[in-house]
Structure 1
Amino acid sequence: MLLFSNQQAFRLRDESRVEFFKLNVEFIILFQLLEESIVTFVKNELNKFQKVLSPDYPEYIENQREDEKVLDGEDEDEEQRRRSREAFLKITLHFLKRMKQEELADRLQSSKRILTDLKMGHLLMSENMH
């Protein structure tokens, strides 16, 4: 008993190829978008690290405080972003150390700690005001 004619079999095979091709294209596009998102994130974070290590660091802290005020209503998203930034900081420190830039890595880590402490102090002050 023949389930499919040869013509139907070819059509099914062609439809499968088309479906496979569509899925493959969607997969490629998804990873291109993922790459763009990651590259944008990396560039933004490296830019922040560069500012933290610059001589204009106190001005950067003030700008960060203003940015934090704008983001206050986004607890869950902000928590996820904070975790992502912390993970990227660890990656950056790792690469700096691999490049034998321990002093720069230490300065970055110390600066980020100071910035975190200042943010926490700012958050505590703003919570006490409410």
Structure 2
Amino acid sequence: MIYFLHGGNGNQREAKNWLMAQVDNLIRAGKLPPTIVVCAQGLPIGWYVNANEAADGVLSGPVENVIVKDLIPHIDATYRTIARREGRGIEGWSAGGFGTLRLAFKYPETFAYASSLAGVAL
């Protein structure tokens, strides 16, 4: 199970062409076991944190909570997953790379693997 976090000003569909094609090719070649990839929506500038929605100019919401407290339990309850940290990895590109490291270190009981691709630093 891989949770993929898109980059800033992007959306969950970013990975459709390149990541899904690579995962499919690796599975077909026997180099990767069958894997579920979940592309989370982090909003254009959500940074994968819980935003202060009352602040002026804030365009995101409780992105962190939605992923960790809502999305992951929903996926585990709906699909045949390994519903423990050993069965979950998180990967992200750019702002998603930032979110990946932040969530992986904040929730080590949730993710066993993390990969930050060109992760930005704040």
TM-score of the aligned structures, taking structure 2 as reference length:
0.29
Report 1 or 2 for greater relative contact order, CA contacts < 8 Å, sequence distance ≥ 6: 2
TM-score of the aligned structures, taking structure 1 as reference length:
0.28
| Higher strand content, 1 or 2 | 2
